[in-house]
Structure 1
């Protein structure tokens, strides 16, 4: 498969770090860029009390944010500026832990859209437990 765009159009680690710095919501969540390579991104957050729901685990909206963000950033690392067109999130277990980690990869990049996949893990006492998985369609801007 030929690459959809040249390297100059792809977002770099520096682009994503800048996105973190200027996004009020991303800052509020406390998103950290853990790993980066074209087509694969890993992010993490510390779970705070104001991110939990009535049972004390991370709210599904925060888990969804993690999946959406890591999918979009993985796509951006291949094709440049993007927005999420849709995503399907499967919540697999309560997100109980001190932090959440999400990995996103590009499944296929086309001319107009990028299909991506994400897994979200809760980390407690150093142990990761998968809590959600997602597929997303990311559109080029």
Structure 2
């Protein structure tokens, strides 16, 4: 199990809301909600809106990709501090049909120069039906900073 760089799960959520969502125009506009960011694990939630869908009515692949990317990055950040994504590969498994997306990330291996993380993205309907819609693996790069100054 990875050790968290935060003193508590509540402190990690507060930090992610302020920095990872609050200072990211895209994540802020999407209203990505951190549920868990602790000890190499992350869980994010996103309520889908019509402007996030593609022409068939399901969540656009870019939105699903963001949820996978953020799950990877936020899981890594919980262990090593400020990060950027070096790369990620995503497999779309099913149309993201539903009222919200939930993604979960888990650190596979954490090192000084990179953190390898896997993520899954699930769609959820109003009646609670969940469906796995994407699987991803990312290489996340620590910036060497606790928080990047603007």
TM-score (ref. length: structure 2): 0.86
Distance 1:71 1:16, change over 3 A: same
Structure 1: tracts of 5 or more residues without a match: none
* Contact 2:85–2:140 under 8 Å retained in 1: yes
Question: What is the CA deviation profile of residues 91-140 of structure 1, one whole-angstrom value per residue up to 9, with x for unaligned ones?
Answer: 00000000000000100001100000000000012111000000000001
Counterpart in the other structure of 2:138: 136
Correspondence for 1:87:
88
Q: Is 1:75 aligned to residue 92 of structure 2?
A: no
* Aligned residue pair count: 137
RMSD (CA atoms): 1.9
Q: Which residue of the partner structure matches residue 17 of structure 1?
A: 17
The answer for unaligned runs of 5 or more in structure 2 is 144-150
User: What is the aligned partner in structure 1 of residue 148 from structure 2?
Assistant: none
Residue 2 of structure 1: how far off its partner (Å): 9.5
Alignment partner, residue 120 of structure 2: 119
Partner of 1:26: 27
The alignment's TM-score, normalised by the length of structure 1, stands at 0.91
> Against the structure 1 CA distance between its residues 16 and 49, is the aligned structure 2 distance closer, same or farther, given a 3 Å change threshold?
same
User: Does structure 1 residue 101 correspond to structure 2 residue 93?
Assistant: no
Aligned counterpart, 2:46 = 45
Cα deviations by residue, 1:16-71 (Å, 9 ceiling, x for unpaired): 11121222111111101112321001001011100000000000000000000110
